């Protein structure tokens, strides 16, 4: 780690910063130069966990990230994903495709190993035991250190745990949508993670920007923002904006920002290892990293529970 004072937690054998950088903007919303600046700002702020996927920017996200990290590859944790459609026949969890996708990602990242390799979504066409067998081969070959999954429900996590090769690699983490606004994982997935000893990695922690504090009830959305780009109107309803404003007031009473509440609240949830937050500028990356410092007390968490959407 190059700077900052971020707490670290474990995903299997990996030690990751409590806030990670989501690289989904690389290659389509920001160019290579800006991506490199965002990565450097993240490193300087103490982030060591960088999460991408083959489909982000049609492969460019992996390329930009690999280039930006080349000089410090040994001191960072790189996570990527496979399984969503990359072209004709290039999707899912078939063993031969798992091997091909891994080689493609290794090439784009410019590295000879992936720290955390995740299947991006459940593949109903392929027995999960077959996918896990291929992933286990990659671990044994030294091309992958740990494996995980994304967008799996509790039943799929249980099935994967039961079908993992005896004495071989098993999913150490699941990366799903989770925030103060979107709380679906609490019903089944988080308890299943606790039961299986898996880490949970939340993505979209800021609810597409609703929990950043830059949107206010009764005010027009900033030009060029995610809300302006069509991510509303459901998320950015007047009711939700008023709720976010009450959360902001709570945070400010405690000497913090809404962003710090959004990330600190997730960090306080059971089995959460690292909160993945995207950034389009070095300033956003620094703010996200800095937001990992609020350790909410049980009294503060209870007070947050009382702040309900109208």
- Domain containing residue 274: CATH number: 3.20.20.100
pLDDT given at position 220: 76
Q: Give whole-number Cα distances, 248 to 84, 100, 131, 214, in Å.
A: 36, 46, 44, 10
Kindly state the average pLDDT of the residues 266-276: 97
pLDDT given at position 2: 42
pLDDT given at position 219: 83
pLDDT surpasses 60 at 268:
yes
pLDDT mean across residues, the chain: 94
pLDDT surpasses 80 at 209:
yes
Q: Give whole-number Cα distances, 85 to 34, 53, 54, 65, 68, in Å.
A: 26, 11, 9, 20, 25
Specify if 173 maps to a domain.
Answer: yes
> Which of 47-51, 97-101, 169-173, 226-230 has the weakest average pLDDT?
226-230
Specify if 82 maps to a domain.
Answer: yes
Share of the chain above pLDDT 90, in %: 89
Specify if 264 maps to a domain.
Answer: yes
Q: Which domain holds residue 89?
A: 8-208+258-295
pLDDT given at position 291: 94
pLDDT surpasses 70 at 231:
no
Specify if 197 maps to a domain.
Answer: yes
Kindly state the average pLDDT of the residues 274-282: 97
Specify if 96 maps to a domain.
Answer: yes
pLDDT given at position 233: 65
Share of the chain above pLDDT 70, in %: 95
pTM: predicted TM-score of the whole model, two decimal places: 0.95
Catalytic positions, written as ranges: 56
Specify if 16 maps to a domain.
Answer: yes
> Which of 107-111, 168-172, 232-236, 246-250 has the weakest average pLDDT?
232-236
Kindly state the average pLDDT of the residues 184-207: 98
First to last CA, the chain: 42
Contact 203, 172 (CB under 8 A): no
> What DSSP character marks residue 12?
T
User: pLDDT of 243-265, one tens digit each?
Assistant: 999 999 999 999 999 999 999 99
pLDDT surpasses 80 at 14:
yes
* Counted domains in the chain: 1
Buried b (16+ CB within 10 A) or exposed e, 241-269: bebbbebbebbeeeebbbbbbbbbbbbbb
Specify if 67 maps to a domain.
Answer: yes
């Amino acid at each position: 780690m190059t700077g900052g004072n971020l707490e670290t937690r474990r995903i299997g054998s990996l030690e990751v910063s409590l806030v990670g950088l989501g690289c989904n903007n690389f290659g389509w919303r920001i160019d290579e130069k800006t991506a490199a600046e965002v990565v450097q700002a993240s490193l300087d702020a103490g982030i060591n966990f960088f999460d991408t996927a083959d489909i982000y920017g049609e492969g460019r996200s992996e390329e930009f990230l690999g280039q930006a990290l080349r000089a410090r590859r040994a001191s960072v944790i790189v996570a990527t994903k496979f399984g969503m459609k990359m072209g004709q026949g290039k999707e899912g969890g078939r063993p031969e495709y798992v091997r091909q996708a891994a080689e493609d990602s290794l090439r784009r990242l410019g590295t000879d190993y992936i720290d955390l390799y995740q299947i991006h979504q459940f593949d109903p066409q392929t027995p999960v035991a077959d996918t896990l067998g291929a992933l286990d081969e990659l671990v044994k070959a030294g091309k992958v250190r740990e494996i995980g999954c994304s967008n799996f429900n509790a039943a799929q996590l249980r099935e994967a745990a039961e079908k993992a090769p005896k004495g071989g690699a098993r999913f150490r983490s699941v990366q799903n949508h989770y925030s103060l606004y979107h709380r679906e994982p609490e019903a089944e997935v988080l308890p299943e993670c606790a039961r299986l000893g898996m880490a949970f990695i939340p993505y979209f922690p800021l609810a597409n920007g609703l929990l950043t504090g830059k949107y206010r009830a009764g005010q027009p959305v900033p030009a060029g923002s995610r809300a302006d780009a069509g991510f509303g109107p459901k998320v950015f309803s007047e009711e939700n904006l008023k709720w976010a404003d009450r959360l902001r007031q709570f945070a400010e009473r405690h000497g913090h920002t809404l962003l710090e509440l959004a990330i600190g609240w997730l960090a306080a949830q059971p089995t959460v290892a690292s909160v993945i937050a995207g950034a389009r500028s070095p300033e956003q990356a620094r703010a996200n990293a800095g937001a990992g410092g609020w350790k909410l007390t049980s009294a503060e968490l209870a007070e947050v529970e009382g702040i309900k959407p109208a």
